[in-house]
Amino acid sequence: MKQTGNTILVTGGGSGIGQALAQRWHDAGNHVIVTGRRRQALDQAIAGRARMHAYVLDVTAPDAVASFARQVTQEHPRINVLVNNAGIYSAEKIGAHRDLSDAEGMIDTNILGPIRMMNAFIDHLATQAEAAIINVSSGLAFVPYPAAPTYSATKAALHAYTAAIRPLLEGKVEVIEIVPPQVQTELSPGQSNDPNSMPLDAFADEVMALLHAAQTPTEVCVEGVRYFREAEANGQFDEALRMLAKYS
């Protein structure tokens, strides 16, 4: 992926990881478009930044995604990078019968949302030079967090989907996965102040350095997530799972 001169669309770009990456891409000389469900957060993310635009979008609404894709490709026909970052998290207690609305919401947002976006934009991206799809998964795709089984499963599904489409799009659209560790954002309550979470700025800086190296990796794994990404290959999966279970 080239470092500058792109037109980049980032879902969930009004806060957290999405906002941090979007602003760094903008600083590097890219035209950046952010989407999200909260207009106020989006306006704050783009404030004072020329060549940065915001649209309200809920990726769980199929008709809205299709309509948005038509609108934004007309208004910004040079879009060549789609970043599927929008996601939601909810802890779960599965020891008794429960309301599944949170679990269903995570499936709809975290895996069906990116699939809808990729489907809506693939024909356009295939016509663009140096096109790329970037999906943001999680270290929990590789070692699930017992307190958040559905969230972990959605990220594992997104990892599998990303790996599956990569050879199918080879030579047409570059397919990249960003694998975050736990980062200081508001994804879950208190996470932004958690000393065990990676500072957001440090994460975004490391991602940019890896993503825009001479050879873009298919998986962008900061050092803080490598233990989980490589746990199964290194025979440490059970150890890592037990460690996460202590926090459940």
Residues belonging to the active site: 151
DSSP 99: -
The order of strands in the sheet holding 219-221 is 52-56, 31-36, 7-11, 81-84, 132-136, 174-179, 219-221
Angle at 19 between CA 240 and CA 168, to 5 degrees: 65
SS3 of residue 84 by DSSP:
strand
In the numeric block, which tokens belong to residue 159? 């990892």
Residue of 123, 131, 55 lying closest to 86 (CA atoms): 55
In the numeric block, which tokens belong to residue 26? 């903008």
DSSP 7: E
Strand partners, 52: 32
- Number of C-beta neighbours around residue 225 at 10 A: 25
- Interatomic CA distance for residues 24 and 189, integer angstroms: 25
In the numeric block, which tokens belong to residue 144? 């699930």
In the numeric block, which tokens belong to residue 180? 């975050």
DSSP 199: P
In the numeric block, which tokens belong to residue 229? 């990404």
